[in-house]
Amino acid sequence: MPVYIATQAFLDGVDSVPFIWPILKTLPWLGVLYLAKIFFSGASNTFERNMHGKVVMVTGGTSGIGEAVVRGLATRGAQIVLLTQHVLGDPFIVEYIEDIRKDTDNQLITAEQVDLTSLHSIRTFATKWIDNAPPRRLDMVVLCANTQTPGSGAIKTTAEGVELNWQVNYLANFHLLSILSPALRAQPPDRDVRVLFGTCSSYMGGDLLHITQPSAPTQSKFKAKSTPSAQQIQEPTKISPANAYATSKLALTTFALAFTKHLSTYKRPDGSPSNTKVLLVDPGFCRTPGTRRWLTWGSLTGLVLYLLLYPIWYLVLKSPDMGSQSFLFAAMAEKFRGVGKEYGRDAKGAVLIKECKERRFERLETVEDEAAQKALWEFSERMVQDAEKRGAMERARVKREEQEAREEGVAVREMEDYKAKVGKSEGVKKEGSRRSKKAG
């Protein structure tokens, strides 16, 4: 058809083609929208890697960017271990795994129930994972789990008393990797091991002052040289949903750099350097359930506005598949294989990746400060210990109440059985019985 239209325009003139001028005026705008969509979609991963036989542990792999990452790695043959809060018999997780296996032609997709809002659940899984001889194979850990309290929402806490953003975005990852670090260290020296942290640029607005520097009253008791003077002390930012999210991402970034040093300081029995590479991945803004919840502020009115403005969001926000490209780049690029001088890379440094390129870290005064890293690590260990104690007390209370309820139920049933037997032995007609109805 285009050939006939062009022929008609050439022989009979442009005006002979119906609606030609509106079409010609519209085409440039469509071209602009197409180029804008390509620009906002970001860069694509151009590296490929044979993932057959690789064991990859993934959090947040059932929706959004995490799901796209799982599909990308599974398509390339990786064995995926999904950490999900769903019960393994839940129809959703069963059907989800079946769909992934069918779509990727990969049967090596399994799941483990791990609730990232529960430190006890994380410890139960991680200790079971490392309690194995010889150590289980683990080639990669991909941490995609993420949550964000809408700006209009109130601060939420877990059953163990930890703020929700801090727990899911940071403390759960700290707790999981702290326990799994022996499994990472035990991998053979020739194995390419990588840990991928999902982060975002909001970490630049975070605040760790309540951790990294003491308050003024405490300051007077400690006069260490590294402690800032009273004039240098800043008041920590007031906690809010937006600040809680940014702070959790800043803590995650700081921990990632500290975790790299933690792994590299371990002296392997074979004398080989650490073979675990830590990479932080910023996927950018994507059309994920979390982003939608943030844009709508968790309200029905916000959801209506989101739907009305969806053409704009479709244009400027990446799809989950495009958001996963930086993760796939971090997982597959040969340049990130191994650490140490033989690979031309610093064994003590993590890498930040955005748009499939290495980027420099911001907030260097915090994320690369060894004193801040140490303070955050020690603070996190104390928080985990305290939260697990509170969780143990809460579980004991619930168990005690359930036991009391069961005992009370048994007592009630025994009393009812006793009354029925006594009434029958004394010849008392039970209300509603056949004889009582006949007598009435």
Cα distance between residue 127 and residue 82, in whole Å: 16
My answer on whether 9 and 100 are in the same domain is: no
pLDDT of amino acid 414: 72
Residue 8: its pLDDT value, please?
A: 62
Active site residues: 249
Whether 131 and 247 share a structural domain? yes
CA angle 78, 83, 84 (to 5 degrees): 130
Residue 426 lies in a domain: no
Q: How confident is the model at residue 347 (pLDDT cuts 50, 70, 90)?
A: very low
For the stretch 253-274, pLDDT in tens is 999 999 999 988 888 888 888 8
Q: Bigger pLDDT: 413 or 287?
A: 287
269 shares a domain with 126: yes
- Residues 372, 254: contact at Cβ < 8 Å? yes
What pLDDT was estimated at residue 102? 95
Please say if the pLDDT value at position 4 is more than 80: no
Torsion sign over Cα 310, 311, 315, 319: positive
More confident residue, 248 or 17: 248
Q: Which residue has the higher pLDDT, 154 or 26?
A: 26
* pLDDT given at position 402: 85
The predicted structure's pLDDT at residue 222: 33
Tokens 């001088």 locate to 341
- Claim to verify: residue 62 and residue 200 sit in the same structural domain: yes
The DSSP code sequence of 150-195 is: -TTSPP-B-TTS-BHHHIIIIIHHHHHHHHHHHHHHTS-TTS-EEE
Higher pLDDT, 375 or 216: 375
Give the residue with greater pLDDT, 440 vs 78.
78
> What is the chain's length?
440
Residues 62 and 176 in one domain: yes
Q: What pLDDT digit, counting tens, does each position of 393-438 carry?
A: 888 888 888 888 887 877 777 777 777 777 655 555 555 555 455 5
Give the pLDDT score at 369: 87
Q: Can you give the pLDDT at residue 155?
A: 78
CB under 8 Å to 151, separation ≥6 — which residues? 241, 242, 294, 297
DSSP category for residue 402:
H
Is a pLDDT exceeding 90 seen at residue 345?
A: no
Residues 18 and 83 in one domain: no
Q: Do 200 and 272 have their domain in common?
A: yes
Q: Is position 407 within any domain?
A: no
Query: pTM of the prediction?
Result: 0.81
Please indicate, yes or no, whether residues 35 and 121 belong to a single structural domain of this protein: no
**163-214 pLDDT per residue, tens:** 899 999 999 999 999 999 999 999 998 899 999 999 988 888 888 887 877 5
Asked if residue 258 belongs to a domain, the reply is yes
Mean pLDDT of the chain: 83
Domain boundary among 374, 389, 404: 389
> Is the residue at 296 inside a domain?
no
Phi and psi at residue 434, to the nearest 5°: -65, -40
Interhelix angle 172-185/241-264, rounded to 10 degrees, is 10
Whole-Å CA distances, 12 to 19, 25, 241: 15, 20, 66
User: Would you say residue 80 has pLDDT above 60?
Assistant: yes
Are 9 and 134 members of one domain?
no
- Judge if 197 and 94 occupy the same domain: yes
Q: Residue 147: inside a domain, yes or no?
A: yes
- Is residue 230 a contact partner of residue 215, using CB atoms and an 8 Å limit? no
Does a structural domain hold residue 438?
A: no
Closest by CA to 363, choosing from 379, 378, 352, is 352
Share of the chain above pLDDT 70, in %: 82
Please give the pLDDT value at position 214: 56
In this predicted structure, the answer to whether residue 314 has a pLDDT above a threshold of 70 is yes
Give the per-residue pLDDT at 427: 52
Question: Which pLDDT belongs to residue 280?
Answer: 95
Question: Do both 30 and 90 map to the same domain?
Answer: no
Better pLDDT: 438 or 42: 42
Helix, strand, coil percentages in the chain from 3-state DSSP, rounded to 5: 55, 10, 35
Say how many domains are in the chain.
2
CATH for 226: 3.40.50.720
Q: Which range marks the domain in which residue 31 is found?
A: 2-41
**pLDDT for the residue numbered 72:** 94
The predicted pLDDT at position 137 comes to 94
User: What pLDDT score was predicted for residue 150?
Assistant: 75
* 274/142: higher pLDDT: 142
400 within some domain: no
pLDDT at site 231:
38
Give dist(CA 79, CA 415) in Å, integer. 56
Give pLDDT, residue 415. 76
Q: Is the pLDDT of residue 215 over 60?
A: no
pLDDT value for 226 = 41
Same domain, 126 and 188: yes
- Using CA atoms, how far apart are residues 403 and 394, in angstroms rounded to an integer? 14
For 15-149, strand residue ranges (E) read 55-59, 79-84, 109-113, 140-143
* CB contact at 8 A, 139 and 194: yes
Mean pLDDT across 33-46: 88
Q: In this predicted structure, what is the pLDDT of residue 229?
A: 42
- Residue 406 belongs to a domain: no
Bigger pLDDT: 22 or 315? 315
Query: 319-336 pLDDT, tens per residue?
Result: 999 999 999 999 999 888
Say what the pLDDT of residue 34 is. Answer: 85
Contact (CB, 8 A) for 146 and 290: yes
